[in-house]
A and B are shown apart, each in its own frame.
Chain A
Amino acid sequence: MKAPILKQGPYLIASLQPELTDTDLLQLQEALVEQVGRFRSRGIILDVTTLDVMDSFATRTLRNIAQAVGLRGAEAVIVGIRPEVAFAMVQLGLDLRLSGVQTTLDLEEALAILDRQHKELGRRG
């Protein structure tokens, strides 16, 4: 597995590497959706800090991961889209937020968002 998945309490954290191929991304997608069930995770964090390109395939796959884990009861947050990558995505016509995917600048903020949602869920349930 080229994108290691770390378990951090009720969350899973995946760090995406620049040399990931489409096949690797699809493997990551499968692994995350499966592990969310196995570990009863409440959230996943997709760290893209080191990615120097996010093309339409990568964006679509990240969106699919977010939606699929959402159906499995976990929230997804994408962390660390670089400024130049953000600009290229906009030019290309990709906006992850339009499909309801949460994004933050760093890991700390992502964990804070997930903690907040996790607590709210606990209060309701």
Chain B
Amino acid sequence: MADVVRVAIRSDADIVMVRQQARVLARELGFSTSDLTLIATALSELARNIVEYAHGGEIILSRIKEGDRCGFVIIARDNGPGIADVERAMQDGYSTGTGLGLGLPGTKRLMDEFEITSGIGQGTTVRVTKWVR
């Protein structure tokens, strides 16, 4: 299987599909069932943000190797309206949509590394990593 997979995200059916693809890719790296679930949950939140706020974007799944450790990287990218106040969006309970406002801060807790770049009119890119323990 390829080490990088790109998936276009447009509808809620794509969320289910990308989750299944990620599970297959991540399982081969040797993640525990528990970590696979954390990854799938984080991915679900990121994919839903794309559908809900940007009405489309893409998710790039990749496997990386750094020294003797292996990791799984999810990049969620959209060209949507962007987030005006990133700091605020990272707080629990803050949402401009219909959600619980746990998506971004929750995703950060589920993964080992989390980076977000966003600006009004520039879309949003979130990059998260989970390392195999």
Give the size range of B's interface with the partner.
Answer: 20 to 34
Say if the beta carbon of B61 comes within 8 Å of chain A: no
Partner of A53, one of B19, B34, B92, B100: B19
What string of 1s and 0s marks CB contacts (under 8 Å) between A73-86 and chain B?
00000000011110
Q: List residues of A (8-67) whose CB comes within 8 Å of B's CBs.
A: 19-23, 52-57, 59-60
Interface pick from B63-71, B76-84, B104-112, B120-128: B104-112
Chain B residues near A68: list those with CB within 8 A.
Answer: none
Partner of A94, one of B36, B40, B102: B102
* Cα–Cα distance between A54 and B83 once the two chains are bound (Å): 25
Tell me how far the C-beta of B2 lies from the nearest C-beta in chain A, rounded to whole angstroms. Answer: 23
* Cα–Cα distance between A21 and B51 once the two chains are bound (Å): 12
- Nearest residue (CB) in B for A63 is B100
B contacts with A: majority SS = helix
Query: Are the CB atoms of B45 and A88 closer together than 8 Å?
Result: no
- Size of the chain A interface, CB-CB below 8 angstroms: 24
Tell me how far the C-beta of A49 lies from the nearest C-beta in chain B, rounded to whole angstroms. Answer: 14
Partner of B45, one of A19, A20, A56, A84: A56
Query: Are the CB atoms of B16 and A93 closer together than 8 Å?
Result: no
Query: Are the CB atoms of A60 and B41 closer together than 8 Å?
Result: no
Query: Are the CB atoms of A55 and B92 closer together than 8 Å?
Result: no
**Which residues of A line the B interface, CB within 8 A?**
19-23, 52-57, 59-60, 82-85, 87-89, 91-94
**Which residues of B line the A interface, CB within 8 A?**
11-13, 15-16, 19-20, 23, 33-34, 36-38, 40-41, 44-45, 48, 92, 99-100, 102-103, 105-107, 109-110
Identify 7 residue pairs between A and B in the complex whose beta-carbon atoms are under 8 Å apart, listed by A's number: A56-B102, A57-B99, A82-B37, A87-B37, A88-B34, A92-B110, A93-B105
